[in-house]
Amino acid sequence: DAGVIQSPRHEVTEMGQEVTLRCKPISGHNSLFWYRQTMMRGLELLIYFNNNVPIDDSGMPEDRFSAKMPNASFSTLKIQPSEPRDSAVYFCASSLLGQVTLAGGLSSYEQYFGPGTRLTVT
Amino acid sequence: QKEVEQNSGPLSVPEGAIASLNCTYSDRGSQSFFWYRQYSGKSPELIMFIYSNGDKEDGRFTAQLNKASQYVSLLIRDSQPSDSATYLCAQESAGGTSYGKLTFGQGTILTVHP
């Protein structure tokens, strides 16, 4: 398997422009996670999907951010309009949720991360 | 308040020594804990997970979990320069509708010098 695929790997855009990040999860995985990583805030979960349905979007910073997962093999994270403070590395990860029980409860197994998209907003 | 706390370091150890990385968490209901390693410019990769009190060993790595004290640690024996990376501790949400959700600490930078 090719692993989690993200595109583009680097994106430089001007403030106010729309940015779309793309992710293809590992085939057969049922959960997909979008993270943002910065030096100041570390690795933060933005949103995650289970079976293409958004489960928790409490980490989405504001209405400028939106995410979709139209099918099991594709997801997008869109920022409109972009701002300099959105500059970060955005990771997509996928896992097989609910397939492994730990300590008697449903749990995720390993989350596999994509290579990330480095976004710079000027 | 950050739910998962780590000493950001940097932690510097000589080659061959034991590196000890620590993490505390606030969610008492959390069952599972993970250690990820992230090389500079790369994505995180899982190296250990633990859900029972006590120790779990895998090669040179040992994860320790103490639920009463709410801390998790990672020991790296016989540290090598190739272990130099940022180590991220993560806890899994304790059920409800957010099972599978991981909360990460800030990460500890480890440098192993020859």
pLDDT in tens, A9-43: 999 999 999 999 999 999 999 999 999 999 999 99
**Chain B neighbors of A42, CB-CB under 8 A:** 88, 104-107
pLDDT digits (tens, 9 = 90+) for A83-111: 999 999 999 999 887 655 444 444 556 88
pLDDT of residue A110: 81
Residues in chain A with CB shorter than 8 Å from the CB of B97 are: 55-56
Which phi-psi region, left, alpha or beta, contains residue A41 (left: φ > 0; alpha: ψ -120 to 50)?
A: alpha
Q: How many CA within 13 A on the CB side of residue A73?
A: 3
pLDDT at position A3: 93
For residue B95, the chain A residues in CB contact (below 8 A) are 105-106
Q: Which pLDDT belongs to residue A104?
A: 45
Q: What are the residues whose beta carbons fall under 8 Å from the beta carbon of B67, sequence distance 6 or more?
A: B28, B53
Residues B83-107: what's their mean pLDDT? 84
Query: Do A39 and B109 touch, CB atoms closer than 8 A?
Result: no
- Determine contact: B43 vs chain A, CB below 8 A: yes
| A45 interface with B at CB cutoff 8 Å | yes
A105 closest CB neighbour out of B46, B95, B105:
B95
